[in-house]
Structure 1
């Protein structure tokens, strides 16, 4: 095992079939690392012994695996907890046992969404949903079992390798005369390729074991983002603003999901650029939009 001092490292990405996992494998490989991507079919993170075997011999473990079905978690919280909390603990213990640096991906749902200015990394967590509770438990487990782990909270992810908001909006905009999209939820659309790049830069910079925020800079509502997606798709479908109350979903959504990036700057790592600029760069790569 190396101690993170070499430029080229052996990386293993758990949850490699997911949208972020796919980009994480590609970005780490492009940076010159030796990368193995493991899907759920390859290793079940709820199986502690399987995880221990899977991460042995690697320098860096990136845990992109997780239960991400936010609404389903409301009625299957134990199942979500098994993956997002117990599974995260298994990965943290395995990484610590093998001497690997762990990066664990978390979420804005750890906050209640009631803020009016960007959430600091040390802001109190107050999850309002089952999904959020399981992710908070995962953060605690990771920090307890692998104190040097990098925990990266992210939000509003989109990318080429999975279902996401831009793909849905572009498809529906091509089918309907006009759209209605919520305008009372504010956040930071974040390209998975940018998040993967940020994670690689944090590891390469030997960032201290802490919680960091991995989202684009700036902010926008879902409605504002939808209008940019429609434009990028070459469509003129009108997008009307509506409220969250118009959509009755099982899990409450944070009204304000803007995360601050002060801790990144303090460790000398540049945050992801403005969401609008990054969307312009990303749009040509998102199949179904361009």
Structure 2
């Protein structure tokens, strides 16, 4: 080992510590401290719109005893899972086309088209679906002109409209996440698989999918968090026909001015999100072990 090697290691460690310090400070100030405050508030009550210092489990007991909260939690969970599944089924083939079929000189153009919806407000995008999904919207007029329906199909203010709005909102994020992962796959691996006689399907299942599993699961995690915590699409497109869990938190703050209940609901929501993320992380670890095994 070179005499300079320990010095290099110390220099790298110092640089890493220099990056970690502001990052840790950011996490403590903007995540850990608010989280501790929310947890503490969830065990208190409000009297005359003022927080008391009394410790109580009343808020959590009310959540677990009230069917309304359990139903909203189930609706949010199923909605998030549905959105993750649909965005994955659309985004993965789209990302594969961009990486393996579209020439490099055209990729930037198509990537700009994919992220173009983010140039407008999310709320504006949600309300724009009224033009498409309304009883007199483009979709119903098209179906009528084709003779497929006699009366307008009720799509707006339903769970289907909520799902459509969330998929439209989150699809670019999922596509870009998978695209970045697929683009980093070494083309020589696919050439080697082809030389060894692997067809398109075998190359996909034995090379592309295992190597992109980490990015795919990361994208699924991100989409699940955003879909579960969203209340804009359910409130606008869904018409609040089915209450989702984040809407109950908003109601507890805006209408009931019950911060302890809102805090308890927030902790339950974070716990529900964390449990699903834990399951998804297991799939990512399985993919990592398979990649390591194939590398040996």
Q: TM-score range by the shorter chain?
A: under 0.3
Structure number having the greater strand percentage? 1
Richer in helix (by share): 2
The TM-score with structure 1 as length reference comes to: 0.24
Higher-Rg structure is: 2
